[in-house]
Amino acid sequence: MHKGTVVAAMSGGVDSAVTAALLKQQGYDVIGITLQIWQEHADQGKHGGCCSLGAVEDARRAASRIGIPHYVLNFRDYFADKVIDQFVDEYRRGRTPNPCVECNRSVKFDELLRHAEDLGADFLATGHYGRIRFNEGTGRHELLKSVDSAKDQSYALYTLTQRQLSKTLMPLGHLTGKQETRRIAAELGLSVANKADSQEICFVPREGYVPFLKEKAPETATSGPVVDTSGRVLGQHEGIAFYTIGQRKRLPANPDGPLFVVALDPKTNSVIVGRDEELFASELVADTCLWSALPPPEPGAKISALTKIRYNGTASPSEIEASADSTVVRCRFQVPQRAITPGQSAVFYGGEGDEAGQVVLGGGVIDVAVTGNCSSSANSL
């Protein structure tokens, strides 16, 4: 039975290849599309990670094996504008960005979905580990965590709008684990069955993000003071862009015990350090918030949720208080959280019964946390 036409985003890895294959088995007309996003300056070229030249070749072979058409779209300039430039700008501001969140938002589920619809497709499919459903009771589409919690990617998908959720398929979210994905790939004779997962940011060279920033934004390599939370100068740093909250490396020695980065001040070009206990905070303010399973809350509304402050972190009980326009919230944790990092996302989870903590309510970008003796200005509620 024909279920419609779906564009499958094929990155060259096993997840997206199995996604395309499963949807074809289920009766969809599948079109494989790979995005050309690698940059001319990058050294990944033929053998790099997601969407490099080598990945395109892997995607093309997988599409041929599955028996679906495959196309490559040039997204290089768009990706550089929406993802790479923002990545660099956030480091200039003394923040630590999450480029995968922005790539999902602006590239995959905005621009690629638009292209899919231009091709006459009914859906866009990705190899993400998450689940999408329609809640008859609320009349809203919902994003849920993957069945396999170890592979869950809902944290990086919280920006999906109701319209995007209604047009998106994620068949891998119902599998029991990555091994099941690889088993399916092997049974189908896909050459990517045992291909290693990409671990690094796709546009950052093997040497890491520090040389990348020095090349793209040399002004970020401006030396400045390393100060403790009392204002005492302890040494000099190489540039605040090369430090992040919670970092211990490349800091001055301290006879009283190890020091950690507790704040970054781009106005004074200072790295502020303190003891481990000064990294903990009970509140954060997040801005540019988007709401998923819930409509935007009324001003002053308070929502109980489990909040996750980093991709590999654990969601913690909290209370979310909405601002006047619902795009800025204050999140208060029951238990203080370590190394709340501006630029990372705070994602709010809810749900009831067996699905408690499984449903993405919404999320935003962390603007500020009060940590130890350090504080930064933020939008007030």
Is residue 374 part of the annotated active site? The answer reads no
Q: How large is the C-alpha radius of gyration of the chain?
A: 22
- Catalytic annotation, pick one of 50, 51, 100, 103: 103
Q: Which residues pair with 302 in a beta bridge?
A: 321
- Catalytic annotation, pick one of 100, 202, 289, 331: 202
Quickly list H helices, the chain: 14-25, 53-66, 76-79, 85-92, 99-102, 113-118, 162-166, 178-187, 209-216
Q: How many residues does the chain have?
A: 381
Q: Residue 307 and residue 317: Cα distance in Å, rounded?
A: 6
User: Tell me, what amino acid is at 173?
Assistant: G
Instruction: Render 277-322 in DSSP notation, one character per residue.
Output: GGGEEEEEEEEEEEESSSPPPPTT-EEEEEEE-STTS--EEEEEEE
Q: Which residues pair with 271 in a beta bridge?
A: 226, 264
Alpha-carbon 290 to chain mean position: 14
Please give the structure tokens belonging to residue 19.
Answer: 């996604």
Q: Which residues are designated catalytic?
A: 103, 202
